[in-house]
Amino acid sequence: MTSMKSLLAAFLLALTSLFSLSASAVVEGYKYQFDSEEEVQRFNGLAEVLRCPKCQNQNLADSNAPVASDMREKVYELMLEGQSDDQIVDYLVARYGDFVHYKPPVRAETWLLWFGPLIAFLIGLLVLRQLRRKQTVEQAQPLTEAERAQLERMKSGADSSSN
Amino acid sequence: MKRFVLFVPLVGVLALVVLFFLTLDRENKDALPSPLIGQAFPAFDMVALESGAAVTAEDLKGQKLLVNVWATWCPTCKAEHAFLNKLADQQGIRIIGINYKDEDIKARQWLESFGNPYEVNVSDPDGKLGLELGVYGAPETFLVDANGVIRGKHIGDLNTEVWKKLQPQFEAMP
């Protein structure tokens, strides 16, 4: 029993040492070799925030479009060249436009994209507030003398008719 | 005045309806604007599909032209090919091809069977030049002026209808 356990431990140790020798990211069946786990994380992170221009609702990590694999390859290449995340994103944005980044910069053309939802929300709040105010105004207003008298009349009228 | 507020949602919905209608009418819904417009054609040093001779960005300069990205695996490229032949033969428009992520042999066969409207074709089997150009599908066509500056881009096939819109821009280029 103990020998089994030690055997298993040795096996696991061998397995982990195998992985620590080289780290790799596997995306859509393509393997990208890196020196460290950090690099793998960086690569996966970039593939996550970069958008495939062909299949417009997928990122580079999810897409199996040929252009997405070319772009992943380029990201890998630029990473090995030692470029920073920003440099890599800029490289692709310079060729494919703001569209390739899931976080486009705030500019005149992207203003509505960034702040549209907030504006819609504020309009919604405003409408809600107006409606609420109208409701409370109606509730809070006491009946006038005439209205009270009319109410009484209607009540007694209803009473007499039911009797 | 308070009643006016009740109409805000209606106005909002109507605005959306108008917006959606306008986008419905837009052809090429997936076409992305290219950041390369107004910039020099990216430098490259590749080989010609036909001869294997070197082709560089310098070869584009001198006379305005269309740079057409195509491949034999692309059905829309087949659809536009006859029109490209017409542009080259009848209107004498200079077209340089980029054979994108394709096999040279297949591409040469294609040109033999369907005619060759291209002054020269750049062989780009790995899509390296395509990546520099922000190509994400085929066909794509760039309008390049005599100084080698990209002036416009069309995504999708070229045909009589599309050319009607592009021609004035092409004519206006130096």
Whether A106 is covered by a domain: the verdict is: no
Q: Regarding predicted confidence, which is higher, B2 or B174?
A: B174
Answer whether residue A91 shows pLDDT above 60: yes
C-alpha distances (whole Å) from B112 to each of A57, A93, B50, B52, B66 are 38, 37, 11, 17, 21
Judge residue A148's burial from the number of C-beta atoms within 10 Å of its C-beta, 0-12 exposed, 13-18 middle, 19 or more buried. Answer: exposed
CB within 8 Å: B36 and A95:
yes
Domain boundary among A75, A100, A125: A100
Q: Do A93 and A152 fall within a single domain?
A: no
In the predicted model, what is the mean pLDDT of residues B88-98?
A: 94
Does residue A38 sit in helix, strand or coil? helix
Q: What is the CATH number of the domain that holds A57?
A: 1.10.8.640
In the sheet that holds B95-100, the strands lie side by side as B120-124, B95-100, B65-70, B140-144, B150-155
Q: Do A75 and A151 fall within a single domain?
A: no
pTM of the model: 0.72
Whether A122 is covered by a domain: the verdict is: yes
In the predicted model, what is the mean pLDDT of residues A3-8?
A: 70
Whether A51 is covered by a domain: the verdict is: yes
Report whether B88 contacts B111 (CB < 8 A).
Answer: no
> Lowest-pLDDT range, A11-15, A155-159, B22-26, B138-142?
A11-15
Residue ranges making up the domain that contains A123: 111-162
Q: What's the number of CA atoms in the CB half-sphere (13 Å) around residue A138?
A: 7
Whether A142 is covered by a domain: the verdict is: yes
Report whether A31 contacts A24 (CB < 8 A).
Answer: yes
Please, what are the domains in chain B? 35-172 (3.40.30.10)
Q: Do A71 and A13 fall within a single domain?
A: yes
Q: Do A117 and A145 fall within a single domain?
A: yes
Report whether A131 contacts B5 (CB < 8 A).
Answer: yes
Confidence of residue B112 (pLDDT cuts 50, 70, 90): very high
Compute φ and ψ for A83, nearest 5 degrees.
Answer: -80, 150
Q: Do A10 and A55 fall within a single domain?
A: yes
Confidence of residue A163 (pLDDT cuts 50, 70, 90): very low
* Alpha-carbon span B104 to B110, nearest angstrom: 10
* Alpha-carbon span B104 to B123, nearest angstrom: 7
* Alpha-carbon span A63 to A65, nearest angstrom: 6
Does residue B97 sit in helix, strand or coil? strand
Number of domains in chain A: 2
CB of A53 within 8 Å of any CB in chain B? Answer: yes
Whether A19 is covered by a domain: the verdict is: yes
What single DSSP character describes residue B91? Answer: S
Please choose, from the candidates B62, B106, B115, the residue with its C-alpha nearest in 3D space to the C-alpha of residue B86: B115
Domain boundary among A52, A73, A100: A100
* Alpha-carbon span B149 to B124, nearest angstrom: 20
Q: Do A125 and A58 fall within a single domain?
A: no
- Length of chain B in terms of residues written: 174
Q: At what angle are helices B75-90 and B160-172 packed, to 10 degrees? A: 50
Answer whether residue A122 shows pLDDT above 90: yes
Q: Do A41 and A68 fall within a single domain?
A: yes
What single DSSP character describes residue A102? Answer: S
Domain boundary among A77, A100, A123: A100
Whether A105 is covered by a domain: the verdict is: no
CB of A112 within 8 Å of any CB in chain B? Answer: no
Nearest residue on chain B to A57, alpha-carbon basis = B30
Residue in the block written with tokens 């959606």: B20
Nearest-by-Cβ selection for B127 from A70, A120, A134: A70
Q: Do A96 and A116 fall within a single domain?
A: no
CB within 8 Å: A54 and B35:
no
Q: Do A18 and A37 fall within a single domain?
A: yes
Measured between beta carbons, the chain B residues lying within 8 angstroms of A74 are 131
Q: Do A11 and A63 fall within a single domain?
A: yes
Whether A130 is covered by a domain: the verdict is: yes
**Partners of residue B54 on adjacent β-strands:** B47
CB of A55 within 8 Å of any CB in chain B? Answer: no
- Length of chain A in terms of residues written: 163
Please choose, from the candidates B82, B53, B57, the residue with its C-alpha nearest in 3D space to the C-alpha of residue B70: B82
Q: Do A46 and A124 fall within a single domain?
A: no
Nearest residue on chain B to A127, alpha-carbon basis = B5
pLDDT in tens, B14-73: 999 998 888 776 666 567 888 899 999 999 999 999 999 999 999 999 999 999 999 999
Phi-psi region of B46 (alpha: psi -120 to 50; beta: other; left: phi over 0): beta
Q: Do A46 and A117 fall within a single domain?
A: no
Answer whether residue A2 shows pLDDT above 90: no
Q: Regarding predicted confidence, which is higher, B29 or A120?
A: A120
Nearest-by-Cβ selection for A127 from B8, B34, B130: B8
Whether A94 is covered by a domain: the verdict is: yes
Judge residue B91's burial from the number of C-beta atoms within 10 Å of its C-beta, 0-12 exposed, 13-18 middle, 19 or more buried. Answer: exposed
Angle at B113 (CA atoms; ends B110, B114), nearest 5 degrees? 80
